Amino acid sequence: MFEYLKNHWIKILVILLVFVASLGRFEYKMPKRNFADFHAYYYTGQKMLKGENIYDDNAYRKDGMANFKYPPIFAAITALFALAPERAAATIWFIFNFLLIILFIYYSGRLIFGRDLTGRQKNWVYFWSLLMTARFYMQNFDEGQVNFLMMTTLLLGIYSMSKKKEFLAGVLIGFSSLVKYMSAIFIPYFLFKKRFKIVFYTLLSLVIFSLLPALFLGWGRNLSLQKDFFPYLCKTSLDMHSLSDYANQSIMATVVRFFSDHGSYGINLLCLNDYALVFISGVIYIFMFILSVYPVKTDKLFGLNGNFNKVDIALIFICIALFNPNAWMHAFIFLTFGYMVVFFYLYKVKFNDKPVIGLVVLSFILHSLTASLLTRFWAGNSFEVYSFVTFGAIALFVALIKIKFFPSPIKQ
């Protein structure tokens, strides 16, 4: 322990400084914003404890709340936070999420690096990857969002899969899918890879986690909540207002804004109806997913076995953000793993891949334009309307596709 502290004291000091600065920022901003989305979780936890209906959008509208779009198992977790005063609960939530980030970064490194990089190179990969996605991390903290929990449990499930711990992998991926359903995109990937045990354990865990709240809610109330959840989710997430909102950076939202008059942004290049919008979005989804899972023989480049490919995982992580019908800014923390894979690859090839470097720089520029306070004065929300975050994520996706199908030779 002391030896580790001695060898890594600079890294630990940086983490502590970032933690203190982030916590100070959180404690200063969040009470002014009434704790943002965390307030909705806390409010739902209170309703759960009182035995009230947590899927009544009229009640949420009446109280001026964001709708609670999560299953009963997560509502049960929020009830634990509702036992404490809200400010203390929000601080605990922040600390918990900060620890989740550390776990995510550490085990992502374990999956990606192996023994191929020096300690200094690994630290630079961490630094550049977090820099590229920092605005999305800040957005999650500012919104009190749950994406860190979803992303970390999903990543830990994939890590368990790489260690041939199929049951643990299924439990973690199943839990992540219940926190937010987009993690379930890995189920068809595992079917494609013939990892049937993981699929079985994931589906089994979904059933078990869905039944678990009955232990303290009772079977009748839990069944009622389960029946209400999915229709409520569709009603509050798949409406055209959400799908055309300028802050929504999903593929579908981009298609809606560019090719229809929904949202009244004045673009409407093709004047398409709703069926055509869904068809175009679906074609894009299928094409990107096929590119993500299509097998290629790049294992020697990355030192992998045939059942796990870190480039494929990175591509699907990007798909999780882009395929989500409600891809608000905070969803794009899922690009982190992709950036880590890209920088790992660039170190492997001694940065001798200019197209990939160019795509990464382009990705960062596009994301930065939507985050810049300076651009707000002359561009307003135009960069969001024109989906710069979406195209920044696609640039990273293309960089990974280039690595997957046309990698540069490794420099010894």
pLDDT at residue 3, as a whole number: 64
Task: Decide if 172 is inside a domain.
Answer: no
pLDDT, one tens digit per residue, over 58-70 is 767 777 777 788 8
Q: Which of 133, 145, 234, 150 is nearest to 186 (CA)?
A: 150
Inform me whether the pLDDT recorded for 214 exceeds 90.
Answer: no
- Is 364 a residue whose pLDDT tops 90? yes
Hunting for tokens 């303290």 — which residue is that? 216
Q: What is the pLDDT of residues 111-169, one digit of tens each?
A: 998 777 888 899 999 999 999 999 999 989 988 889 999 999 999 999 999 999 999 99
Residue 215 CB: number of other CB atoms within 10 A?
10
For residue 71, tell me if it sits in a domain: no
| Cα gap 96→165, rounded to integer Å | 25
Q: Which residue has the tokens 């990464």?
A: 360
Helices and strands (H, E) in the chain, number of each type = 23, 0
In a domain, 210, yes or no: no
Residue 87 in domain? no
Structural domain contains residue 169: no
pLDDT, residue 305, reads 38
* CA atoms of 213 and 219, how far apart (whole Å): 8
**pLDDT of the residue at 75:** 87
Share of the chain above pLDDT 90, in %: 50
Tokens standing for residue 385: 């309307």
Residue-wise burial string across 392-411, b where 16 or more C-beta atoms lie within 10 A, e elsewhere: bbbbbbbbbbbbbeebbeee
Average the pLDDT over 379-408 and give the result. Answer: 90
The answer to whether 19 and 96 have CB atoms below 8 angstroms apart is: no
Where residue 205 falls among pLDDT bands split at 50, 70, 90? very high
Tally of domains in the chain? 1
pLDDT for res 131: 93
Question: Which of 244 and 365 is assigned the larger pLDDT?
Answer: 365
- What digits encode the pLDDT tens for the residues 169-179? 999 999 999 98
**Spatial distance between the Cα atoms of 359 and 54, rounded to a whole number of angstroms:** 44
- HSE (CB half, 13 Å, CA atoms) of 403? 37
Residue corresponding to tokens 């679906």:
282
What pLDDT digit, counting tens, does each position of 241-278 carry? 778 888 899 999 999 999 988 877 878 888 889 899 99
The C-alpha angle with vertex 399 and arms to 394 and 401, in degrees rounded to 5, equals 90
- pLDDT, tens digit, 9 for 90 and up, residues 148-157: 999 999 999 9
Query: Quick check: is 156 in a domain?
Result: no
For residue 4, what pLDDT is reported?
59
Angle formed by the axes of helices 336-348 and 388-405, to 10°? 40
Residue 11's pLDDT band (cuts 50, 70, 90): confident
Quote the domain boundaries for residue 317.
239-412
* Residue 258 resides in a domain: yes
For residue 227, tell me if it sits in a domain: no
Its pTM stands at 0.92
Quick one: pLDDT band at residue 306, thresholds 50, 70, 90?
A: very low
